[in-house]
Amino acid sequence: MKQSKIWIWLLVLSVGALLFFGSGIRDWAREAVYPYANAGKWFDRTFGVRAKALFSRTRYAARNASLERDVARLQVAAADVETLEAEVTRLRGLLDFSARQSGRWVAAPILSRGGTTATWQSIRLGKGSNQGVAKGAPVIVADGVVGRVSDVSAHTCEVMLITDPNSRVACELDVPGESVGMVRGILFGGGARPAADPSLTLLYVVDPLRLRYLARDFEPPPRTRVVTSGLGVYPKGLTVGYLLDSKLDANGLSREATVMPAVDMASLETVFVQSAGGAHAP
């Protein structure tokens, strides 16, 4: 009889928690899983990488040499940037010009892809509100835009990829040398399908995204770079993808283009997420 009472209480508490603390349960679940996901990442970084290196020493030696060259080149570039930054600050001071709003980009490891159901195109990062990450913050890598933060807990955040069918990104075309002015549109996530080629260690093969509501009279050339317009949550000028082709939409009022994402979402390991405060670019 006593044991039955325990289960009655547990059931009532469980249903009550579900009804009254819905979003709290999401945060709690993510935070509960976080230590194990983080431990897995640590194990991979500490032992997995070394184990791989044992089996492919030559490839890693070549890659190491290449990375050392890159580091040296970037150090020179960083020194130049520091000089330019100081000059810009000095000139802005002379002009009484306020600096543009900029956040700090923090590197975040990917802990989980798709959560427990893989229904949505989402990833979970190992950075959260404790690191200054807020809902809506953009997530990028060197190649371009990855997505934006859709939910945050203390140590983790969920990121909706730009390939998700629910994603919308305000974009414009980067057409140098053309006197067409700004060509803007809205990029719709095309969804994605599982990789067909088993040799690829990819999570998804991405279907082309759709860039809608472009000006109907300008036919953009293929491979035109599509960048963020700065009208949404994303800063202006980030590469989103490359245009494949375009055609007039069904009603003939605007043009619709297909866009291949610049970022290979499946091979991501670490991304950069914008956090509050600071002004350091990645």
Partner 1 sequence: MRLDMNVPVVAVTLFAAAVAQDLIPVTPHVPVKLVFLTAAALYFAMTKPLLAGLTALVWAGALTDALGGQVLTCTLTFLLLMFGAVRLAQRVFLEPTLLQGTLLLAVVAPMQILWTRFWMETGVFFSMDTLRVLAASVPAGLAAGFAGFAVCGLADRLSGNIKPVKEDNGILWAETNR
Question: In the structure encoding, which two tokens stand for residue 247, read together?
Answer: 């055609």
Q: Please report how close the Cβ of residue 27 comes to partner 1 at its closest, in angstroms.
A: 9
Cβ distance to partner 1 smaller for residue 14 or 64: 14
Distances (CA, A) of 10 to 15, 71, 128: 9, 56, 30
Question: Within 21-170, where are the H helices?
Answer: 22-43, 49-55, 57-95
Q: Please report how close the Cβ of residue 199 comes to partner 1 at its closest, in angstroms.
A: 8
Dist. CA 185–CA 146, nearest whole Å: 18
Distances (CA, A) of 9 to 2, 14, 26, 101, 209: 11, 8, 22, 51, 49
Cβ distance to partner 1 smaller for residue 115 or 235: 115
Cβ distance to partner 1 smaller for residue 22 or 252: 22
Cβ distance to partner 1 smaller for residue 141 or 203: 203
Q: Please report how close the Cβ of residue 201 comes to partner 1 at its closest, in angstroms.
A: 8
Q: Please report how close the Cβ of residue 250 comes to partner 1 at its closest, in angstroms.
A: 18
Residues that bind partner 1 (CB under 8 A): 2-4, 6-8, 10-11, 14-15, 18, 22, 25-26, 28-30, 32-33, 36-37, 40, 111-120, 122, 150-151, 158, 165, 191, 193-198, 200-203
Cβ distance to partner 1 smaller for residue 195 or 244: 195
Dist. CA 167–CA 149, nearest whole Å: 11
Distances (CA, A) of 229 to 171, 226, 233, 239: 5, 9, 10, 10
